[in-house]
Amino acid sequence: MIRLSGVGKTYADGTVAVQAVDLEVAAGELLCLVGPSGCGKSTTLKMINRLIEPTTGRIEIDGRDVTGEDPVKLRRGIGYVIQQVGLFPHQKILTNVMTVPLLSGGSRAAARARALELLELVGLDPATYADRYPHQLSGGQRQRVGVARALAADPPVLLMDEPFGAVDPVVRVRLQDEFRRLQRDLGKTVVLVTHDIDEAVRMGDRVAVFAAGGRLAQHATPAELLARPADDFVADFVGSERGLRRLSVTPVDPALLDPVDGVRIGDLGAAIEVGATLEQALAAMLRSDRGMVAVRRGPVMLGVLTPDGVHRALRASLSPAEDTGSTAPD
Amino acid sequence: MIRLSGVGKTYADGTVAVQAVDLEVAAGELLCLVGPSGCGKSTTLKMINRLIEPTTGRIEIDGRDVTGEDPVKLRRGIGYVIQQVGLFPHQKILTNVMTVPLLSGGSRAAARARALELLELVGLDPATYADRYPHQLSGGQRQRVGVARALAADPPVLLMDEPFGAVDPVVRVRLQDEFRRLQRDLGKTVVLVTHDIDEAVRMGDRVAVFAAGGRLAQHATPAELLARPADDFVADFVGSERGLRRLSVTPVDPALLDPVDGVRIGDLGAAIEVGATLEQALAAMLRSDRGMVAVRRGPVMLGVLTPDGVHRALRASLSPAEDTGSTAPD
Amino acid sequence: MRVLTDAWDYLLAASSWTGDGGMLELLLQQLLLTVTALVLALAVGLPVALGLGHLGRGGFLAVNISNIGRAVPTFALLAVLVTLDWPGYESFGPYGRAGVATLLALTLFALPPIITNGYVAVREVPSDVLEAADGMGMTGAQRFWRVELPLALPLVLSGVRLALVQVWATATIAALVAGPGLGRVITDGFYRSQYGQGIAGALVVAAVALLLELAAAAAERFAARERRDPLGTVSQGLRPAG
Amino acid sequence: AGDDLSEDAANDDDSTPAASAGGPVNISGQNFPEATLVASMYEQLLEDAGYDPTVRLVDSRSVYIETFPGDVDVVPEYVGGIVNELNARKLGDQAEPFTAGDGKELAEQGSDLLEEQGITLLDVSEATDTNAFFVTQEYAEENGVTKLSDLEGTSVVLAAAPDCEGRLDCEGGLVDEYGIDVTKVLPLGFASDQTYQSVLDGESQLGLTSTTDGTLESQGLVVLEDDKAIQPAQNLVPAVSSAFLEEHPDVAEKLNELMAALTTENLTELNGRIAVDREKPEDVAREFLEQEGLL
Amino acid sequence: MRVTVLAAAAPAAEPSCYSRLRNEWFCLDYVTDRREEILDAAGEHLTITVLAVALGVALAVPLALLARRLPRLESTALGLSTGLYTIPSIALFPLLVPFTGLTMTTVVIGLGLYALTVLVRAFLEGLRSVPEDVREAARGLGYGAGRLLVRVELPLALPVVVAGLRVATVSTVALTTVGSLVSYGGLGNLIRDGVTTNFRAELLVASVLCVVIAFALDALLVLGQRALTPWTRAAGGARR
Ligand SMILES: Nc1ncnc2c1ncn2[C@@H]1O[C@H](COP(=O)(O)OP(=O)(O)OP(=O)(O)O)[C@@H](O)[C@H]1O
Ligand SMILES: Nc1ncnc2c1ncn2[C@@H]1O[C@H](COP(=O)(O)OP(=O)(O)OP(=O)(O)O)[C@@H](O)[C@H]1O
Ligand SMILES: [Mg+2]
Ligand SMILES: [Mg+2]
């Protein structure tokens, strides 16, 4: 568990990068930090592993004040993906990824096996890339090596600064999914910085939205954030298309289905499971070009969803009658 | 006009980064290069201004073979935004932006005025940032300075390598719009690399999709690309949500509106112009929470658009009966 | 160009090389002197320079102090050292008369390039790489050995190479205190108006300096090849492009 | 008065380029104390005669000889030094050095070389600065030596200039002429402090110095007599560019007067004042010149 | 003047602290008596050092650039500078004298050549230390080779170049001594004299002044570097 209480950072020239922020990340939770460029996301992240010392406030990990800890030991237990990637230019890709396990005294063979596995995971074929140097990789490839490097030591806590920023959407979605699965399976606590609100909504258990000047504007679940932005800034940041964005977080609601009677089976090109999101439903609808899609739970057909039904579901999800744990700091 | 004929690049270790690519960018056109990470986008871009020499093929700008030209003079006429940003660490932000106009022998005062204007344009308040050094900026701020620097000399041709990759969506959309307007007004010829298919679709006059191994998979207008991907790879890359993505490129079709009769004015919370996209229509619909939105041309009310109408419009835009100039190189 | 033919003759004469006090013996003596002084300077200078570079402080002072040692002409330093009770002019093993004084003077002379380059090299390691190293929990020592030193190595080695060549060329001053080395051939020649011999001696010193330079460069290149692929030139390989 | 003269001379220079007194004169020479002293005497004399002298003293004869005559007009020289230097430069390393013990004779032997180079030697002084060998007073008393031949058959370590080994006026002569067993030559310099120190410390027994060294006595050292005369003449002599002399014949007169006034004894005394009391050479030179009525 | 003569003619019972009989290391009388001579020597020393380093830089830059342009020439350039460094001054200066005479120029040229061995390396290493992405950005923006060098590469190479310059300057301060070979040795004339005549006060004062000059020039270089590289320590800079 990570807890920030009144944490702030003012740079030497007087720039206030972060203003007294209170935040909590439960163990096993993935928190996304989003916000406009320059709002203090990276600064906040680096204060957690003490690459930057806060000017005010206190930071605890599992109840221990980090300022009291040996920074080296602290960081050993925290994976870190740096925004500028920062690969070691003098080491081959494989060696770069093996670095942290070796640091902690692991065996070479184990570190190597793990590194090869992780290179696969981030979509870099070890046969091609393991023996290259960083300058022989493309921008997105380098970034992925950076992610693999941070994952290699299997740290219980991970800090990631725009880990997928330079990667194309196909690979990104794959990485996001893989990473999310890994994180859930292993119960890792993660703080992930992104400027991509879609990524934040898709990946975060909670999302912290920062406003310019390092103010924490809202700290909430993705659904809550989209449904009830704490203020105009958040609403604006989440986007005028936030309704549409909800497509990807709102599940199909059986109550809003049209009855299946009178619909001939031949008219139903595609069918989706009831747990699917509205976005998937709409995509299926467009793919099959039928103006509707069947929704079932296992073998049981529950009804059909029409565009109108999607719209009603969206509207329902935006109505204020929803339970949340949102906090909107002062 | 830029023309690549059979251009290929094989690195010294045998990596084929780009395979015999044919491409044409008309004067005043904005071409987006998209593709998965490592597919040769940056390499292609850098061959145009000869930062990388092609191993095969030839590149012409306005009919002149670039290999015959003095590279310095060539690059003077081409703006360049580098993927790694590459600000001059020893110069203040303002000086960084003033650099190219001064190179070309412009007056200091003019260069300064232009630089200040461009800093405003990219959303960096000169009063705060002009006198800082690059290391005192956040990642996204640095990237924006890189864009301002490339624009400063007002070059007729611009090469941009992921210029907005590290910027948050609000600022990004603003930058994209500003840039698009500028580019159209001034008739600049632009090649823009992005891994973000949304950005490519929103900004490009045409989009070139690269596949792994540096193969040009499709070169088409955004609408054509979404409607008729040349192959499975492109279809996959453009995404399963490509139908939804069309929301942002398909205009509201007056033929698909429901009549306005019987609808009381009070029921119509919002109205949109007929030139708007389906995405904007849907957003307006959700915002006003009425299940429909009015569409008008100036003062004249044309009809109302319902969720069903949106769906029909999307389906229509995906049908094959559309004119295009798509090429799908074998 | 009478002197050049004389020099050539001197170089070709077997008697100039062989025997007691022949150039071959003097050459080996000077080589020993050079290598010893360099090793001493490395033993003292490298830890200081790299350590301070790693800590990122005290560098100005260290460089400055080591520089001061070099500001006093080496021959003056040597002349003073031999008049002192210690080290004096006592013979010291194969280093000959005033061996300790000569080694001391040459070691002081070798320090500045080693310390200056070492310090600057470590300080020039790119900050994003250091941030990554710190961020993954490297201890100071690990960061030093695994990141800073490898990245600093080319510049450090260049300093060592420079020191090697300069010490070799300067070791001829041992002749001033009747020490060993090729300096004798040169001073003898010039003081006796036997310019041919003097120039021959100088030529041998220069030739060996070049050989040392080449050997050092080859060693450096070999080390570099061990560390990185043959495609990336050293400069590209050294710098992150992102 | 001197100032007026030199100005006149400068003004006259254009109209009467030949045979004029005054004008600039470049003096060069080596920069060990005795040479500095004599050069200073030249300078003051010539300045007094209306010249505008510039003095450039260098470490080694091999340097100024490159531009003498030429940029350099006058050099306080030693007969053997200049003649053998020219000889070595002409014949290379194989040159056989001149060894005549008499200054005039040696100057005569070298006249061809001098003429070829365009250098004229003026009058040779009686004062001579040749190699001399010393031991400690203690050693002299214990072993009863006063002259070099007393050392015949004795084993000694010799502290000397680096060029000593094998030379007939140095190690070679000691071995061949005197039959001294020189076991080792330490190249510690000509009359240098290291040489003194080595002998004083007993590292070596015999040391090389010059006949005009004024410091020996104060250090408890004594010179042994060169009773077999192995030294070539090193009398002080002004070496002048022949061309310069032709234009300025009055220089010869001035410098010859000085040569006549100098003796080995008074030179030794003057050297001693510089070396022991550390008086400035120019002060010592002026005082001497005034005393001799040359200024 | 009369006073000096009298003092010399009738030495006081107690010889001065710098006379050979006492020969003390620390002797203020020496400094007061020879003030002018010492100051002249120091001034000359400074002039020669500065000119020689400037000449060295002027020669090293084109050499380094050439070596970088044609990598095959790199070892030749380094070899050349090394070769020059090993020529003893007693052999080098007589070679120069017929052309430049017994002048300060001779010394400055000689020392400038000696400084090359440090400076050529410093420039090569410095240029090599410029980050590749910055160089690429500059080239992409249309910087020609010249401007790239002056506006981007040299400023960024400065820390490494100045490091070399510091070593070169301090070495030259010491090496200026060899100028006594042609009478322009600055403090070297005194040091040489001090060594050969065992004049301790003179030796010490001249050496100390050498150190002072070296220290001052070194400090000046460091200050210059700080002034020229404000980005390395702007407010709130990087972690170190
Ligand atoms: N110096 C090099 N040597 C060998 N291969 C290289 C070198 N530089 C790049 N490559 C390879 O060439 C391919 C194309 O690289 P390029 O930088 O053009 O990709 P990209 O499309 O820009 O990718 P990204 O979106 O990740 O930046 C990559 O697979 C990369 O690994
Ligand atoms: N060394 C510094 N000195 C002064 N101000 C700084 C310094 N470093 C960063 N800043 C400022 O602090 C603010 C926060 O920076 P930070 O890097 O945390 O932003 P960020 O949220 O990560 O932005 P991005 O998404 O663009 O990376 C920015 O406005 C930046 O200009
Ligand atoms: Mg950031
Ligand atoms: Mg790229």
Q: Has domain B2-245 been given CATH number 3.40.50.1950?
A: no
* pLDDT given at position C110: 94
Give the residue carrying structure tokens 């904005």: B30
- State how far the Cα of C54 lies from the Cα of E240, in Å rounded to an integer: 10
Report yes or no: C118 and C45 within 8 Å, Cβ to Cβ: yes
Residues ≥6 apart with Cβ < 8 Å to A117? none
**Residue A72: pLDDT over 60:** yes
Mean of the per-residue pLDDT values for chain B? 85
**Alpha helix (H) residue ranges in D60-102:** 61-64, 79-91
How many angstroms does the Cα of residue A44 sit away from the middle of ligand 2? Answer: 10
C63 class by beta-carbon count within 10 Å (0-12 exposed, 13-18 middle, 19+ buried): buried
Nearest alpha-carbon partner for A53 in A30, A34, A69: A69
Strand B2-10: give its sheet, edge to edge.
B16-25, B2-10, B56-61, B64-65
Given the CA of residue B137, which atom of ligand 2 is nearest to it? 31
* Average of per-residue pLDDT values in chain D: 86
Question: What tokens does E40 get?
Answer: 């002249």
Cβ contact A15–E236 (<8 Å): yes
The ipTM of this complex is 0.79
pLDDT at A90 over 80: yes
Instruction: Give the number of beta-carbon pairs within 8 Å between B and C.
Output: 7
Question: What does the pLDDT look like over D80-131, one tens digit per residue?
Answer: 889 988 988 888 877 888 878 788 888 888 899 999 999 999 999 999 988 8
Q: What is the DSSP string of B246-259?
A: GGGTPBPPGGGPBP
- So what's the pLDDT on residue B153? 81
The reply to whether D31 touches chain E by the CB within 8 Å rule is: yes
**Does the pLDDT value for residue D12 go beyond 60?**
no
Residue whose token pair is 């972060």: A18
Distance B110 CA to ligand 2 centre (A): 29
In this prediction, residue E63 carries a pLDDT of 92
pLDDT at D3: 40
To the nearest 5 percent, what fractions of chain B are helix, strand and coil? 40, 25, 35
Identify the pLDDT of residue A241: 60
Least confident of A96-110, B244-258, C166-180: B244-258
Query: What does each C-alpha distance from D288 to D37, D263, D269, D294 come to in angstroms?
Result: 10, 12, 11, 9
Mean pLDDT, rounded, for B220-245: 80
pLDDT for A318: 63
Report how far ligand 1's centroid is from the alpha carbon of B43 (Å). Answer: 7
Q: Is residue E40 part of a domain?
A: yes
Residue B268 pLDDT class (50, 70, 90 cuts): low
Domains of chain C: 2-237 (1.10.3720.10)
Asked if residue B88 has its Cβ within 6 Å of ligand 1, the reply is no
In this prediction, residue E235 carries a pLDDT of: 38
Considering every ligand atom, which ligand is closest to the CA of A36?
Answer: 2
Q: Do A11 and E236 touch (CB under 8 A)?
A: yes
Residue C84, class by beta-carbon neighbours within 10 Å (0-12 exposed, 13-18 middle, 19+ buried)?
exposed
* B17 pocket-lining for ligand 1 (C-beta < 6 Å): yes
Burial of C226 (0-12, 13-18, 19+ CB in 10 A): exposed
Residue A323: pLDDT band by 50, 70, 90 thresholds?
very low
Task: Say which residue the tokens 């929301």 belong to.
Answer: B247
Residues 6 or more apart whose CB falls under 8 angstroms from that of E119 comprise: E56, E57, E59, E60, E64, E81, E164, E165, E168
Between CA D196 and CA D206 the distance in angstroms is: 9
User: Do the beta carbons of residue E175 and residue E29 sit within 8 Å?
Assistant: no
Q: Tell me the ligand closest to C232's alpha carbon.
A: 1
CA end-to-end distance (rounded Å), chain B: 24
Q: What is the pLDDT along chain E (240 residues), one digit of tens a residue?
A: 333 433 444 444 677 888 887 888 888 889 988 999 999 999 999 999 999 999 999 999 999 999 988 888 888 888 889 889 988 888 888 889 889 988 999 999 999 999 999 999 999 999 988 888 888 888 877 788 888 898 889 999 999 999 999 999 999 999 998 888 888 989 999 998 888 888 899 999 999 999 999 999 999 999 999 888 888 775 333 333
B84 lines ligand 2 (CB under 6 A): no
CATH 3.30.70.20 at A251-316, yes or no: no
Residue E233 lies in a domain: no
Task: Supply the pLDDT for residue C225.
Answer: 66
Cα–Cα distance measured from residue B102 to residue B98, given in angstroms and rounded to the nearest whole number: 6
Q: What is the structure's pLDDT at B329?
A: 44
What was the pLDDT predicted at B262?
Answer: 61
Tell whether E152 is within 8 A of chain B (Cβ).
Answer: yes
Q: Which atom of ligand 1 is nearest to the CA of B42?
A: 22
Three state DSSP letters for chain A: CEEEEEEEEECCCCCEEEEEEEEEECCCCEEEEECCCCCCHHHHHHHHCCCCCCCEEEEEECCEEHHHCCHHHHHHCEEEECCCCCCCCCCCHHHHHHHHHHHCCCCHHHHHHHHHHHHHHCCCCHHHHCCCCHHHCCHHHHHHHHHHHHHCCCCCEEEEECCCCCCCHHHHHHHHHHHHHHHHHHCCEEEEECCCHHHHHHHCCEEEEEECCCEEEEEECHHHHHHCCCCHHHHHHHCCCHHHHHCCCCECCHHHCECCCCCCHHHCCCEEECCCEHHHHHHHHHHHCCCCEEEEECCEEEEEECHHHHHHHHHHHHCCCCCCCCECCC
A309-322 per-residue burial string, b: 16 or more CB within 10 A, e: under 16: bbbbbbbebbeeee
Indicate the SS3 state at residue D135: strand
User: In this structure, is residue E55 part of a structural domain?
Assistant: yes
Residue C133: name the closest of B48, C141, D24, D175 by CA: C141
Minimum mean pLDDT among A318-322, B155-159, C123-127: which range?
A: A318-322
What pLDDT score was predicted for residue E2?
39
User: Would the pLDDT of C237 be above 60?
Assistant: no
Q: How far is CA A144 from the centre of its chain?
A: 15
Is C128 close to A80, i.e. CB distance below 8 A? no
E129: in domain: yes
Burial B121-159 (b: 16+ CB within 10 A, else e): bbbbebeebbebbbbbbbbbbbbbbbbbbbbbbebbbbb
Tokens linked to D243? 């061309």
A138/B318 CB distance under 8 A: no
- pLDDT bracket for residue A243 (50, 70, 90): low
Q: Which atom of ligand 2 is the closest one to the Cα of E235?
A: 3
CA distance C100 to C109: 14
pLDDT in tens, A260-280: 766 655 556 678 888 787 877
C169-192 residue pLDDT tens: 999 988 888 888 898 888 888 877
CA distance E60 to A104: 47
Angle at D220 between CA D217 and CA D224, to 5 degrees: 70
What contacts C104, CB < 8 A, 6 or more positions away? C81, C87
**How many beta-carbon pairs below 8 A join chains C and E?**
161
Ligand 3 centre to CA of A83 (Å) is 6
E226, two tokens: 């700080």
Which candidate, E3, E30, E192, C84, places its Cα nearest to that of D277? E30
Task: State phi, psi for A327 to the nearest 5 degrees.
Answer: -125, 135
Cα D153 to the center of its chain, rounded Å: 31
- Residues C88 and B149: their CA atoms lie apart, in Å, by 65
Domain ranges of chain A: 2-245, 251-316
Neighbours of A85 (CB within 10 A): 28
DSSP per residue, chain E? -HHHHHHHHS--SS--TTSTTT--SS-HHHHHHTHHHHHHHHHHHHHHHHHHHHHHHHHHHHHHHHHHHSGGGHHHHHHHHHHHHHS-HHHHHHHHHHHH-SSHHHHHHHHHHHHHHHHHHHHHHHHHTS-HHHHHHHHHTT--HHHIIIIIIHHHHHHHHHHHHHHHHHHHHHHGGGGGGGT--THHHHHHHHHHTT-HHHHHHHHHHHHHHHHHHHHHHHHHHHHH-GGGG-TT-S--
The CATH code of the domain that includes E203 is: 1.10.3720.10
pLDDT for A263 equals 60
Contact A13 E239 (CB under 8 A): no
pLDDT band with cut points at 50, 70 and 90 for residue B253: confident
Torsion of Cα atoms, C185 then C191 then C197 then C200, to 10°: 70
Using CA atoms of A115, A117, A118, A120 in order, give the dihedral in degrees to the nearest 10.
Answer: 130
Find the helix packing angle between E2-9 and D281-291, rounded to 10°. Answer: 90
Q: Which two tokens stand for residue B61?
A: 């700008």
| CB neighbour class for C32 (10 Å; exposed up to 12, middle 13-18, buried from 19) | middle
The pTM (predicted TM-score) of the whole model is: 0.82
d(CA A101, CA A154): 8
Residue A46 has pLDDT above 60, yes or no: yes
Q: Is residue E179 situated within a structural domain? A: yes
Instruction: Choose among E97, E196, E199: nearest Cβ to D66.
Output: E97
pLDDT of residue A300: 78
Alpha-helix runs per DSSP H in chain B: 41-48, 71-76, 93-103, 108-121, 126-129, 139-151, 169-186, 197-203, 222-227, 232-238, 242-245, 278-288, 307-318
For helices E154-175 and C99-123, what crossing angle results, to 10°? 170
Residue span of the structural domain in which E82 resides? 28-227
Mutate to test the interface with C, among A46, A90, A141, A144 (most CBs of C within 10 A): A90
The DSSP-derived string for D162-176 is TT-TT-TTTHHHHHH
pLDDT of residue A285 exceeding 80, the answer is: no
CA distance D261 to D270: 13
- Lowest-confidence range among A164-178, A293-307, C112-126, C192-206? A293-307
Residue A316 pLDDT more than 80?
no
